[in-house]
Amino acid sequence: ADVERHLVQAFATLGVPKQLKTDNGPAYVSARLWQFLQSWGVEHTMGIPHSPTGQAIVERTRKT
């Protein structure tokens, strides 16, 4: 899937993180992504749904 392809590119450039925090979008809640991250040894956490504070931190980090 697209998410896995982008993450592999990010891992190649930045290294493999210990943890990845995402929002609760459809691309991030799939069992396939959980398995992918587990195979890389990455802990996946998700923000609280509809939480403006948690989402603001993610958006600020991505500078969007």
Dihedral over Cα of 29, 10, 1, 63: its sign? positive
Domains of the chain: 2-62 (3.30.420.10)
Q: 25-56 pLDDT, tens per residue?
A: 888 989 999 999 999 999 999 887 766 666 66
Count CA atoms closer than 13 A to 37's CA, side-chain side: 21
- Read off the pTM: 0.72
Q: Which two tokens stand for residue 60?
A: 């600020």
Q: What CA–CA distance (Å, rounded) separates 5 from 64?
A: 21
Instruction: Please choose, from the candidates 26, 21, 20, the residue with its C-alpha nearest in 3D space to the C-alpha of residue 53.
Output: 21
Q: 11-25 pLDDT, tens per residue?
A: 999 999 999 988 888
